[in-house]
Amino acid sequence: MATDSMVPPGEDPAPYHEEVHDPRRRDFINIAAVAFAGVGGVAIVLPLVNQMNPSADVLAQSTTEVDLAKIEPGQGVVTTFRKQPLFVRNLTPKEIAEANAVDIGSLRDPQTLAERTKAGKENWLITLGVCTHLGCIPLGIHEGDNRGPFGGYFCPCHGSAYDTAARIRQGPAPKNLFVPEYTFNSDTAITVG
């Protein structure tokens, strides 16, 4: 480039004449410097993006313990997990039978009741109470709630209906109610998260 050979006005051009290579040393320095600055610029974006992820104190609220002893068959309770409603339901034998009678192939999000519960504890259905459509809380956990046409949960916002295994059966929601990670500490207590 012409600019490379430019000599400050009034100075002796002699020291500025360097031997011409291809690529020249100056090209290399130029590209290396701009590339380094570019990498540095991109690296600065990372913390700016990452600061928006859940902070440590939000993540620290990630476990919830639930005492199941007082929940009779047919009853359910609402508690919270990660500040979201958590539905804990003790299914009746009739509800379990209804859930097992469904043809899995006909489901939008095919899962059996057994896959959504723990082995030997099929009556304990633990799900988030967050409709998978746009996040409303479905009705049906409290006695006397409208449980919709499939006897499980019914979201009043846009009419999604879930069955007794909290699987999506009708309406706009794409997925079954989310089953979080949980473990049985004893027969009557679980830890979620």
Question: Which sequence positions are flagged as catalytic?
Answer: 158
Q: How far is the CB of 3 from other proteins (least distance, A)?
A: 33
Work out the angle at residue 10's Cα, subtended by the Cα atoms of residues 7 and 16, and round it to the nearest 5 degrees. 30
Provide the binding-site residues for other proteins, judged by CB under 8 A: 49, 52-55, 58, 78, 80, 82-85, 108, 130, 132-137, 156-159, 171-174
> CB–CB of 164/96 below 8 Å?
yes
d(C-alpha 84, C-alpha 62), whole Å: 10
Least distance CB 170 / other proteins (angstroms): 9
Q: Measured between alpha carbons, how far is 142 from 77 in angstroms, rounded to an integer? A: 7
Closest CA to 166 of 179, 183, 155, 152: 152
CA–CA dist 121, 91 (Å, integer): 10
Min separation Cβ 48 and other proteins, Å: 12
Question: How far is residue 23 CA from its own chain's centroid?
Answer: 50
Closer of 88 and 96 to other proteins (Cβ): 88
Q: Cβ 88 to other proteins, closest distance in Å?
A: 14
In the chain, which ranges are continuous DSSP H helix? 25-50, 56-59, 93-100, 113-116
